[in-house]
Chains A and B, each alone.
Chain A
Amino acid sequence: MTSDREFLGYRRGDGRIGVRNHVLVVPTVICSAVVAERIAAAIAPTGTALPHLAGCGQLGPDLSLTHETLAAYCRHPNVGAVVVVALGCEQVVAQHLVDAARSAGKPAQIVSIQGEGGTLRATAKGIDVARSFAGELARTERVSCPASSLIVSVKCGGSDYTSGLSSNPAVGRVADRVVDLGGAVVLGEIAEIMGAEHLLAARAANPGTAAQLLRIVNRVEVEAAALGLDIRGTQPSPGNIRGGLTTIEEKSLGATHKAGERTRLEDVVGYAAPVTARGLTVMDTPGLDVESVTGMVGGGAQIVLFTTGLGTPTGNPIAPVLKITGNARTAETMADNIDLDVSGVMREAESLDSAADRLFDAMLAACSGELTTAERLGHREFAIHRRNPTI
């Protein structure tokens, strides 16, 4: 039995709590992505792969970002074991990823395509290793875990006028409650803080954190300015504008509601860097949904609360992504992709508190193993942020 403050999770060797128990199959480089996906597919849904476009031809910061993001997934508590699929001549170091997994108490092994002698042999070897890991993981049992062990990522995508009025404030109430219980919340998408940063900065735990937030928001704005372009080509997006959102300021003011109304801003961290503070952390991610969610899960978020007005299908390879909409039409026309309909708030048929209660329960149920729509449909989108050209 669990109370309304507990869920059934996996207690890992390093003390962290997971809500899923995946065998993660990690290609070091794009060249080993197909082999990794075939290995994971052989033991689906326990197996899940991290296909990505990077791992070679990258310099300095981008190479480091790829390395550290992949390592963060190898350490993640939603992962029980790791198979690293190397090509053999790439930049990303397979041993670094295996070491990351083992340091978090997980079994891990490298399968090298050049070492095994081609696609077929590497795939067969990888499936053998992955099956053996899956057998071990099947013996791990879920145990009662406190909500305070959660790091909840809050995200919005395909926003429309309903997002700022219903789904984002409902998520915000859940965020406040998670923090009240001793948990953590992480908010990304710096471009979508632009125009609302004064409200978040006013909630900062100290002046240094406020200054950090303002500095990264300003950096994103300066970057857009340096291109000589108007950010309105992408923020708000054409769909946002059709939905009634006029400016990035309007979008941001609605979007930041999902970070709660009263929790203090405790920390500001880099892309996919560990979220260590309890309370609210802002992570430096781009606005692009999949890159943003990839970074926040890398930072340790076990679950993602994702609001949408127009509807969007994306998930994550290792973390459940719960889709919440306040748009009654989207709840009906995109029912496949929606977990929770809070459109009653727009009709004044449901209070925000009631919607938040339902969302909190749905969140804990998902943490206890109930599959989200994105998981049931096999949505496992993954994209590592990058800044520089491929060399």
Chain B
Amino acid sequence: MTSAIVISARDNVATALEALESGHTIRAGDTTVRIIEAIPRGHKVALRPIAAGAAVVKYGSAIGTASRDIAAGAHVHTHNVASSRGRGDLGVRGHVADPANAGGRTSDPGAPRIAEPPDQEAS
């Protein structure tokens, strides 16, 4: 059994299937990486260096942004990855990734869920 799993070839992190000890070298997908700090079971390890501000990629998609430089073999978790979603604390007013997002009721957070017009159109 492999000790860490890589889901997509685009990923720069692997998920540890068992606790990984510092100093050990593991094979994860097509990559070999030397573990530089303890990685708890189920947590992520960087497969290659990830620069501060770069995307952390798992499942082939960005799961957040590196909040500091992350070395290959390092533990990747809340201490060095920032989510870019749902961050009211940063004054971010929602995520506008698509023109459809920008329209209409997005500025009306108090709008009652049951009366949401799109839902009515749907049924």
A residues with CB within 8 A of B: 60-62, 64-65, 68, 160-162, 164-165, 191, 194-196, 198-199, 201, 208-212, 214-219, 221-232, 235, 241, 243-244, 246-250, 253-254, 267-271, 273-274, 276, 284, 346-348, 385, 387-388
Please tell me if the beta carbons of B76 and A223 are within 8 angstroms of each other in the complex.
no
Could you give 11 example pairs across A and B, Cβ below 8 Å?
A: A61-B114, A161-B42, A161-B43, A199-B61, A211-B100, A211-B118, A215-B101, A224-B88, A225-B93, A231-B86, A249-B64
- Among B5, B40, B61, point to the contact of A249 (Cβ < 8 A): B61
- Among A160, A199, A385, point to the contact of B42 (Cβ < 8 A): A160
By a CB distance below 8 angstroms, the chain B residues around A228 are: 88-89, 91
Give chain B interface residues in 1-54, CB to chain A under 8 Å: 1-2, 5, 7, 15-17, 40-44
Please tell me if the beta carbons of A231 and B42 are within 8 angstroms of each other in the complex.
no
Apart from A215-B103, A385-B113: 16 A-B pairs, beta carbons within 8 A: A199-B61, A212-B122, A215-B101, A216-B118, A219-B106, A219-B111, A222-B109, A225-B91, A225-B93, A244-B44, A246-B77, A246-B83, A247-B81, A269-B123, A271-B113, A284-B113
Please tell me if the beta carbons of A229 and B88 are within 8 angstroms of each other in the complex.
yes
- Among B16, B63, B95, B112, point to the contact of A250 (Cβ < 8 A): B63
Give the 7 A-B CB pairs with smallest separation, nearest first.
A231-B86, A61-B112, A161-B42, A244-B42, A270-B119, A211-B100, A247-B83
Q: Given A61-B115, A231-B85, A284-B116, is A226 in contact with B95 using a C-beta cutoff of 8 Å?
A: no
By a CB distance below 8 angstroms, the chain A residues around B111 are: 219
By a CB distance below 8 angstroms, the chain B residues around A161 are: 15, 41-43
Q: Given A216-B116, A225-B88, A235-B86, is A247 in contact with B63 using a C-beta cutoff of 8 Å?
A: yes
Q: Is the interface of A mostly helix, strand, loop or mixed?
A: helix
Please tell me if the beta carbons of A219 and B109 are within 8 angstroms of each other in the complex.
yes
By a CB distance below 8 angstroms, the chain A residues around B68 are: none
> When chains A and B are docked, how far (Å) is the Cα of A244 from the Cα of B4?
13
Please tell me if the beta carbons of B114 and A64 are within 8 angstroms of each other in the complex.
yes
- Among A162, A191, A231, A270, point to the contact of B120 (Cβ < 8 A): A270
Q: Given A162-B42, A214-B98, A246-B64, is A222 in contact with B107 using a C-beta cutoff of 8 Å?
A: yes
Q: Given A201-B98, A214-B98, is A248 in contact with B121 using a C-beta cutoff of 8 Å?
A: no
> When chains A and B are docked, how far (Å) is the Cα of A149 from the Cα of B111?
34
Please tell me if the beta carbons of B101 and A244 are within 8 angstroms of each other in the complex.
no
Q: Mark B64-108, 1 if CB is under 8 A from A, else 0.
A: 100000000000111001111111111111111110110111110
Please tell me if the beta carbons of B15 and A244 are within 8 angstroms of each other in the complex.
yes
**Smallest distance from the beta carbon of B70 to chain A beta carbons, Å?**
12
> When chains A and B are docked, how far (Å) is the Cα of A250 from the Cα of B103?
27
